[in-house]
Amino acid sequence: MVTIKSEKEIKLMKEACRITGLVYQEMEKIIKPGMSTMELDQFADKLIRANGGIPAQKGYPSGMKGVPPFPATLCISINDEVIHGIPSPKKRIENGDVVSIDLVVYKDGFHGDAARTFIVGEGSPEAKRLVEITKQAFFEGIKYAVKGNRIGDISHAIGEFVEKNGYNVVREFQGHGIGREMHEDPGIPNYGKAGRGIRLEPGMTLAVEPMVIAGKRDIYQDYDGWTILTEDGSLAAHYENTILITEKEPEILTLV
């Protein structure tokens, strides 16, 4: 069921989203070659808690038998890892790496969700273009995130833009509603036909998140039960914000 948030609920949710955006703002200042992904994870954890939030992904159940809950604050996925990479003290970021980070903050009963992809050090022109197209796909999609349009209008705009630029979107994972729960209705695919799906109404809060692959769109799950990688080893990028549907233009809640 899709939930419409009240003004009071939106105010509370904005605080969780503010912390989410703040963490990315601060991580961008410190991320560098040689860091371990666990160092980044610990930095984010401390900053979230210092602001009164809780890392919502830590302990999130996998939903699969034999796979333990997610053990960290951040999902950190590097190069051909698409999403859900697990931080480790042994996993170090190298010059030119494409590093996708996904973060969810919980505070006062509500969630804020966002993802960013950073090119660390001197990235290749190909990597830079992939990251830019992925980010722009989000903004192309939310042009249609207005009262009276449908979810499919967002999905279609994202997929069309990505494919027009020679890339592929991940089809097995999608954006989602968000609020008191990390994942709520509706699902928001990154492809599809315009004019399909539920109609957008003010008070809806959505996590729109293009996941883009430079090569073929085939993916597979690593042995850890969490990390998703590209089948052909090509680069991937991820960009996400939590948005609010209003009477006019959508409001992006996780940008600070």
Q: What's 193's domain CATH number?
A: 3.90.230.10
The sign one gets for the Cα dihedral 67, 100, 30, 13 is negative
Pairing of strands 236-238, 168-169: unpaired
Averaged pLDDT, groups of 10, the chain, 256 residues long: 96 98 98 98 98 98 94 98 98 98 98 98 96 98 98 98 98 98 98 97 98 98 97 98 98 95
Q: What is the pLDDT of residue 125?
A: 97
- Does a structural domain hold residue 18? yes
Query: Which positions ≥6 away from 8 have C-beta within 8 Å?
Result: none
Angle ∠(188,192,136) on CA atoms, nearest 5: 70
Domain count, the chain: 1
Report the distance separating Cα 78 and Cα 207, nearest Å: 22
- Does a structural domain hold residue 150? yes
pTM comes to: 0.97
- Does a structural domain hold residue 226? yes
DSSP 8-state symbol, 197? S
- Does a structural domain hold residue 121? yes
**Beta strand ranges found along the chain (DSSP E):** 54-55, 75-78, 81-83, 98-107, 110-119, 168-169, 175-177, 184-188, 205-208, 211-213, 219-221, 228-230, 236-238, 241-244, 251-252
Q: What is the pLDDT of residue 256?
A: 82
| Domain ranges, residue 145 | 7-252
Q: What is the pLDDT of residue 59?
A: 97
